[in-house]
């Protein structure tokens, strides 16, 4: 009997491994050829060579760019350099990126910026919220932006037990934001397995100083998050499930799911086109090449635009695609007055006229 039990267990384990292997193949290895799509006037941005993971553009045309992310399993070309926030003024003809100064009482050496989101209060003061991973933990740093000094004044560090493994945030009010948790297990290999096995343990958290709660669950790997122009909807990219969730936001900050738009690529960070409300997503067409980096066969880049998001038939189109010869591992895109900034997890950044 014991032998039979062992045999059944072995059979079950092999079946499980077989299934896992099929799941891995389907999700990560099957890679698509990337057909190039390039707007006419594009150039790489000087000084942004080692990552531009997230980008947020103010209505005035000032763009914030987070650079230098160190994240388990992903490449980083300058591992000894602390992360930085860059600023670009998209109204200028030859727009240059410049690293912002950060006020003293903040540990700049440990700065490891990930998702960012801006907030403008009633008086017009601009705040930048940054997901930070000092020692691979997760905090949300709140900075006040001083335009004349080109600096960020650190105001506050937000930490909470529900804010673990935070990937991205979207600020919806003073000290009020939604955050995505991209994996549940702390160990990198276990978190990868969590993704591959499609465990759907990750979630979206609402944070305010008075209340912190989980407002949406069941994501395989909740990643980019942003709000619609009218702030009535929240969009969440589930990167490993290759889809984007359209959520309705309620008075008590709860979210309910309206629909899921299925894609054929790993969508990372999201922004909304301020003139149309379309969603722009930076995407990874070949996830395996990103996780297993080889400069001779690099991961490609893709930017998708989703039009008529709330209609019955949203349309998805590719506005930028490259096989990695120009841009590797695109994580974000943002537009302003016919110009687009395209950022990457660890590589360069591109500026194009659409
Ligand atoms: C990016 O990293 C490489 C390798 O560490 C370094 O040589 C280069 O100067 C960095 N580029 C910038 C713009 O910081
Ligand atoms: C909304 O969130 C609260 C917790 O803040 C919870 O008690 C309630 O059941 C939720 N409502 C809905 C409709 O999901
Ligand atoms: C990428 O595309 C360029 C042309 O757009 C081509 O020259 C190059 O060989 C391609 N690289 C790979 C790795 O496929």
Q: Which ligand is nearest to the CA of 346?
A: 1
pLDDT for 29 beyond 70: no
Three-state secondary structure call for residue 136 = helix
What lies within 8 Å, CB to CB, of 294 at 6+ separation is: none
Q: Sorting pLDDT into bands at 50, 70 and 90, what band is 98?
A: very high
Q: Which ligand is nearest to the CA of 254?
A: 2
Of all protein residues, the one whose alpha carbon is nearest to atom 14 of ligand 2 is 254
DSSP assignments along 300-351, one per residue:
-EEEEEEESTTSSS-EEEEEEEE-SSS--SEEEEEEETTEEEEEESSS--EE
For residue 3, the model assigns a pLDDT of 63
Tokens of residue 72, six digits = 């388990």
The 10s digit of each residue's pLDDT in 193-226 is: 888 888 888 999 999 999 999 999 999 999 999 9
123, part of any domain: yes
CATH number of residue 204's parent domain: 2.120.10.30
CA 14 to ligand 1 centroid distance, Å: 46
Of all protein residues, the one whose alpha carbon is nearest to atom 8 of ligand 2 is 254
1, part of any domain: no
The 10s digit of each residue's pLDDT in 227-275 is: 999 999 999 999 999 999 999 999 999 999 999 999 999 999 999 999 9
The 10s digit of each residue's pLDDT in 119-162 is: 999 999 999 999 999 999 999 999 999 999 999 999 999 999 99
Interatomic CA distance for residues 184 and 7, integer angstroms: 32
Residues with CB under 6 A from ligand 2: 213, 252, 254
Strands 98-99 and 101-102: unpaired
231, part of any domain: yes
| Alpha carbon of residue 135 to chain centroid | 20
CA 256 to ligand 2 centroid distance, Å: 10
69, part of any domain: yes
pLDDT for 115 beyond 70: yes
| Most informative mutation of 210, 211, 252 for ligand 2 (most atoms within 8 A of CB) | 252
Domain holding 208, by residue range, is 31-353
For residue 95, the model assigns a pLDDT of 80
Compute how many other C-beta atoms are within 10 angstroms of the C-beta atom of residue 188.
14
For residue 201, the model assigns a pLDDT of 87
The 10s digit of each residue's pLDDT in 60-91 is: 999 999 999 999 999 999 999 999 999 999 99
190, part of any domain: yes
16, part of any domain: no
223 annotated binding-site participant? yes
CA 323 to ligand 3 centroid distance, Å: 6
For residue 20, the model assigns a pLDDT of 64
Of all protein residues, the one whose alpha carbon is nearest to atom 2 of ligand 1 is 78
Interatomic CA distance for residues 295 and 287, integer angstroms: 14
CA 131 to ligand 3 centroid distance, Å: 35
Percentage of residues in the chain having pLDDT higher than 70: 91
CA 100 to ligand 1 centroid distance, Å: 17
251 annotated binding-site participant? no
Number of domains the chain contains: 1
292 annotated binding-site participant? no
For residue 185, the model assigns a pLDDT of 83
**Residue 132 and residue 141 in contact, taking contact as beta carbons nearer than 8 Å:** yes
pTM of the model: 0.92
Interatomic CA distance for residues 332 and 281, integer angstroms: 6
| 325 touches ligand 3 (CB under 6 Å) | yes
For residue 37, the model assigns a pLDDT of 96
Compute how many other C-beta atoms are within 10 angstroms of the C-beta atom of residue 308.
12
pLDDT for 19 beyond 70: no
| 46 touches ligand 1 (CB under 6 Å) | no
Tokens of residue 195, six digits = 């993704």
| Most informative mutation of 32, 293, 320, 325 for ligand 3 (most atoms within 8 A of CB) | 325
280, part of any domain: yes
Calculate the alpha carbon distances from 234 to 174, 175, 259, 343 in Å: 17, 17, 11, 22
By annotation, the residues acting in catalysis are 114
25, part of any domain: no
Q: Sorting pLDDT into bands at 50, 70 and 90, what band is 9?
A: low
Of all protein residues, the one whose alpha carbon is nearest to atom 13 of ligand 3 is 297
Of all protein residues, the one whose alpha carbon is nearest to atom 7 of ligand 3 is 325
Calculate the alpha carbon distances from 349 to 8, 50, 105, 130 in Å: 53, 9, 30, 19
């Amino acid at each position: 009997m014991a032998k039979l039990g062992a045999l059944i267990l072995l059979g079950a384990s092999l079946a499980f491994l077989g299934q896992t292997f099929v799941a891995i193949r389907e999700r990560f290895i099957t890679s698509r050829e990337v057909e190039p799509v390039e707007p006419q006037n594009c150039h790489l941005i000087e000084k942004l060579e080692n990552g531009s993971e997230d980008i947020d553009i103010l209505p005035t045309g000032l763009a914030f760019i987070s650079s230098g992310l160190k994240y388990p399993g992903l490449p980083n070309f300058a591992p000894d350099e602390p992360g930085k926030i860059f600023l670009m003024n998209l109204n200028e003809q030859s727009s240059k990126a410049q690293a912002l100064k950060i006020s003293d009482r903040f540990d700049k050496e440990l700065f490891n910026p990930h998702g960012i989101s801006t907030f403008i209060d009633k008086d017009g003061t601009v705040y930048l919220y940054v997901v930070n991973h000092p020692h691979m933990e997760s905090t949300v740093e709140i900075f006040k932006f001083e335009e004349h000094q080109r600096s960020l004044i650190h105001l506050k560090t937000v930490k909470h037990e529900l804010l673990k493994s935070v990937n991205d945030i979207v600020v919806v009010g003073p000290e009020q934001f939604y955050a995505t948790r991209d994996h549940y297990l702390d160990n990198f290999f276990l978190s990868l397995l969590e993704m591959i096995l499609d465990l759907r343990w990750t979630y979206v958290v609402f944070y305010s100083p008075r209340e912190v709660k989980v407002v949406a669950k069941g994501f395989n790997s909740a990643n980019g998050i942003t709000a619609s122009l009218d702030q009535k909807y929240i969009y969440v990219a589930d990167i490993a499930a290759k889809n984007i969730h359209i959520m309705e936001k309620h008075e008590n900050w709860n979210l309910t799911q309206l629909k899921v738009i299925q894609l054929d690529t790993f969508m990372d960070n999201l922004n909304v086109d301020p003139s149309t409300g379309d969603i722009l997503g930076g995407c990874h067409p070949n996830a395996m090449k990103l996780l297993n980096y080889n400069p001779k066969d690099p991961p490609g880049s893709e930017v998708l635009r989703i039009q008529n998001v709330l209609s019955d038939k949203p349309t998805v189109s590719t506005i930028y695609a490259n096989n990695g010869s120009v841009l590797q591992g695109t994580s974000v895109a943002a537009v302003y007055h016919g110009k687009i900034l395209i950022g990457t997890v660890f590589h360069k950044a591109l500026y194009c006229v659409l």
